[in-house]
Amino acid sequence: MPRYLQIITAVATASDARRIAAALVSKRLAGCVQVVGPVESTYRWKGRVERAKEWLCLVKTSHRRYNQLVTELEALHPYDTPEIFAVPVSGGARKYLAWLEAATGPVGSRNQPCP
């Protein structure tokens, strides 16, 4: 697994997305969570094709925080079966990746607002 990941999840409301974002960042499980929405999702659930407006959370994290992040996200997420995709980051701006490493590191690491 690469050193950095982008985790993708979606929720039904902006307030749920903001709550999840704040929790993940405050616990240093994510350096930044971008909330995008609403987006329209079409999916199969319990034998039916459904359509819903959702808010997309793009979570930036380090690989070493992945397991803790997933555990926390499953606890925070309002869905029975939340979408949780880990997309490997194969490269990125050196300064941004250094910032992400610090933002998801121990307290006292150099920390800046999400660039």
Whether the per-residue pLDDT at 102 is higher than 90: the answer is: yes
| Terminal Cα-to-Cα distance of the chain (whole angstroms) | 24
Phi/psi region, residue 77 (left: phi>0; alpha: psi -120 to 50; beta: rest), is: beta
The residues near 50 (Cβ < 8 Å, ≥ 6 apart) are 42, 43, 44
pLDDT given at position 108: 58
Note the pTM of the prediction, 2 decimals: 0.89
Question: pLDDT tens digits for 23-70?
Answer: 999 999 999 999 999 999 999 999 999 999 999 999 999 999 999 999
pLDDT above 70 coverage of the chain, percent: 91
Cβ atoms of 16 and 88 within 8 Å: the answer is no
pLDDT given at position 80: 93
Full set of structural domains in the chain with CATH: 4-103 (3.30.70.120)
Cβ–Cβ contacts within 10 Å for residue 31, how many? Answer: 26
Structure tokens belonging to residue 27? 């616990």
